[in-house]
Amino acid sequence: MKLNTSGIDLNLTFTSFAAVLLLGILAVLYPEVVKGTMGSMLDFTVINFGSGFLWYTLFATFALLYLAFSRFGNIRMGDSKPKFSKFQLFAMALSAGMGASTMYWGFIESVYYFMDPQFGIADKHIAMEYATAYNMFHWGAAGWFIYLIVAIPFAVVFYLKKSQRMSLSGVINSLFNDSLPVWAQKLIDLLFIITTLAATALTLGLGIPMISSNLASLTGIPDNLMLGVGVILGLSVIFSLSSYIGIEKGMARLSSATIYICAAFVGIIFIIGPSALIMNNLTNGIGVMLTEYLRMSTNTDPYGTTLFPQYWTVFFLANWISYSPGVGVFITKIIQGQKLRDVVLILVIGGTLGSAVIFGVCGTYSMNLINTGAVDGVALIQAGQPTTLVKDIFGQSPIPMLLTAIYLITMILFTVTTLDGTSYSLAGIATKELDAEANVSPMFRLFWCLLLTALPIVFLLINADLNILKSFPVLIIVLIMPVFFVAAVKTLQYLNQNYHQIMAHQREQDKRLGLEEENVMAAPQTA
């Protein structure tokens, strides 16, 4: 199948490709300079702009709760019935938006928080409880509110205003009644693509070493640069095939299967682990997270010295924000026919509970091994060896090889579905107009699949550390976050001004769909 370039924004595509190529060349030629520069920029950003990330998240939270529980919650996206079931909606959004990273952090993140407890906590066991709660907070409702505050403007413009441009500039331009200057549109779309690439780079930069480490543990193959590159190429083949098949046949089925496998993996951990402790800590963690939610949401530790909120809470919020344009495009594709209230509640509640279970079970399992002295997790984290910590955790189980195999499969599938959704988003951004079903060229998606493999190879070559990987999403979104805010405000204004016309049209479509159903039931049967 040939790639038809007539509907593709070639200037935007090649500019994005050139930016990635330039970064790769600079990182390989001057690795220490790139590391030092990005590290300094990261420090400056989180210290001086960290509070802005917190306020943006609170705005997203209150705006979406208002949309869900007000009259606007009844607005349906599009003139058809839901294309995907509510479970498929949840599974695909979860897989595209957080899956691979969740599996990476599931066993190790609480150790970082235990090492640097907040709120003046000195007691070891209380620190462990709050470590679990912070896990749930960083991967819970706040992230999904951040995703949706960008996704809803895309959906409103595509389904209600009937614009067929799935780009951030197209959304902003439509909300401003086509008055946005061309140069501003090009700049917004370029920032959009770079933001999405930066977010994906973080996921791959963290996930690839974890996958290669566990693959080496399972097979005995040396864990070196060649294995890392081989993993990246292997993943690119898998998600290129899934991307080419399409979302309906490829990602929808793959996402559902991934959720089931992940559930089985977490279930095994619960059974072989200290089940009572896991259940108690899971329950307690949810309670602490809910009671401390506002405090965690506004914590800046202004007189502290460790910069915990800046390097963890701000980092995770920035990570969610950097993924929000790409995930927002993808969510727009899969919520056709769903009501706004259902979209918000399914993704926020389902995503929060799903991550709470994963972190509650996996995090408690690892923290128990650390608490009993079976694994020296603190020393391994201080030595910068998180992949070794995960191997040691599995090594303490009665079925280390089985756990490693299932974990490896889950990591691979989550990574594939994450990249599948991202490739769709990037192709959609760079496509001038989509059809009524928001489809993009399979070959163009393959191009983005291949480009997505470039950055993690660069990270492997320069041996990028955690703070360098963190800097990508944090730095780039400072420029584009105000654009998301403006889009959200304009969307709220549009819905308020056009609510009655939207609902009148929706009632007409409901009647039409009902008549079509009756006609089908009444149609004579033929042999």
Q: Is the pLDDT of residue 515 over 50?
A: no
Chain centroid, CA 212 distance in Å: 21
Q: Which tens digit of pLDDT belongs to each residue from 468-483?
A: 656 666 767 787 888 8
CATH number at residue 50: 1.20.1740
Examine residue 249 and state whether it is found in any structural domain, yes or no: yes
Examine residue 517 and state whether it is found in any structural domain, yes or no: no
Question: CA 314, CA 201: separation in Å to the nearest integer?
Answer: 18
Look at residue 184 in the predicted model and tell me its pLDDT: 84
- Residue 520 contacts residue 81 (beta carbons within 8 Å): no
Average pLDDT of the segment spanning 294-309: 88
Examine residue 520 and state whether it is found in any structural domain, yes or no: no
Examine residue 518 and state whether it is found in any structural domain, yes or no: no
User: HEC states along 166-203?
Assistant: CCHHHHHHHHCCCCCCHHHHHHHHHHHHHHHHHHHHHH
Q: Is the pLDDT of residue 518 over 60?
A: no
Question: CA 439, CA 428: separation in Å to the nearest integer?
Answer: 8
- Domain total of the chain: 1
Examine residue 523 and state whether it is found in any structural domain, yes or no: no
Look at residue 186 in the predicted model and tell me its pLDDT: 81
Dig out the tokens for 405 from the structure: 């195999």
Model pTM?
0.82
Question: Residue 488's closest CA among 196, 183, 155?
Answer: 155
Examine residue 447 and state whether it is found in any structural domain, yes or no: yes
Average pLDDT of the segment spanning 418-423: 71
- Residue 347 contacts residue 93 (beta carbons within 8 Å): yes
Examine residue 369 and state whether it is found in any structural domain, yes or no: yes
Task: Band the pLDDT of 94: cuts 50, 70, 90.
Answer: low
Residues 6+ away with beta carbon under 8 Å from 268: 399, 402, 403, 406
Question: Residue 111's closest CA among 349, 371, 445?
Answer: 371
Examine residue 237 and state whether it is found in any structural domain, yes or no: yes
Question: CA 123, CA 108: separation in Å to the nearest integer?
Answer: 20
Q: Is the pLDDT of residue 491 over 90?
A: yes
Dig out the tokens for 68 from the structure: 């869900």
Average pLDDT of the segment spanning 47-64: 92
Question: CA 203, CA 419: separation in Å to the nearest integer?
Answer: 9
Give the position of tokens 């959609």. 428
Q: Which tens digit of pLDDT belongs to each residue from 363-394?
A: 999 999 999 999 898 899 888 888 888 889 99
Look at residue 517 in the predicted model and tell me its pLDDT: 43
The torsion defined by the Cα of 235, 241, 246 and 247, in degrees rounded to 10, comes to: -30
Q: Is the pLDDT of residue 287 over 70?
A: yes
Q: Which tens digit of pLDDT belongs to each residue from 315-343?
A: 888 888 887 877 777 788 788 888 899 88
Residues 6+ away with beta carbon under 8 Å from 388: 213, 380
Give the position of tokens 């509907």. 7
Q: Is the pLDDT of residue 160 over 50?
A: yes
Q: Which domain holds residue 395?
A: 8-506
Please tell me which residue, 127 or 17, carries the higher pLDDT value.
127
Residues 6+ away with beta carbon under 8 Å from 359: 102, 105, 106, 109, 110, 132, 135, 136, 139, 285
- Residue 277 contacts residue 364 (beta carbons within 8 Å): yes
Lowest mean pLDDT among 132-136, 290-294, 439-443: 439-443
Task: Band the pLDDT of 102: cuts 50, 70, 90.
Answer: confident
